[in-house]
Amino acid sequence: MPLDSVTQAPPSENWGLNRAQGWKLKLCWGPRKCFISSKPLWGKRAYVAETYINNLGDPVIETYWVDKHEFLLWQLKR
């Protein structure tokens, strides 16, 4: 398979993002970026959730920050 035919899925189709539960709207006080659009979120309200992946060692915790407008569009498109 040539490398030209390989494409990457958009961030909104990320496996961990789709598995995240317990979304909460919070004020972002740190220098973070939206996972879907890469917009800066500092000082804005954004949705945040965590995904826990258990493997043979220590669990891996991934935190996802998503802009509130991008979150709404993502939920409507699912």
Is the pLDDT at 15 greater than 60? The verdict is: yes
Ramachandran angles phi, psi of 77, nearest 5°: -85, -15
User: What is the pLDDT averaged over residues 25-32?
Assistant: 96
Is the pLDDT at 8 greater than 80? The verdict is: no
Cβ–Cβ under 8 Å, residues 34 and 48: no
**Per-residue pLDDT tens over the stretch 52-65:** 888 788 888 999 99
Residue 49 has what pLDDT? Answer: 96
Domain-by-domain residue ranges, the chain? 3-77
Residue 46 has what pLDDT? Answer: 97
Instruction: State the alpha helices, DSSP H only, in the chain.
Output: 15-19, 68-77
Confidence band of 76 (pLDDT split at 50, 70, 90): very high
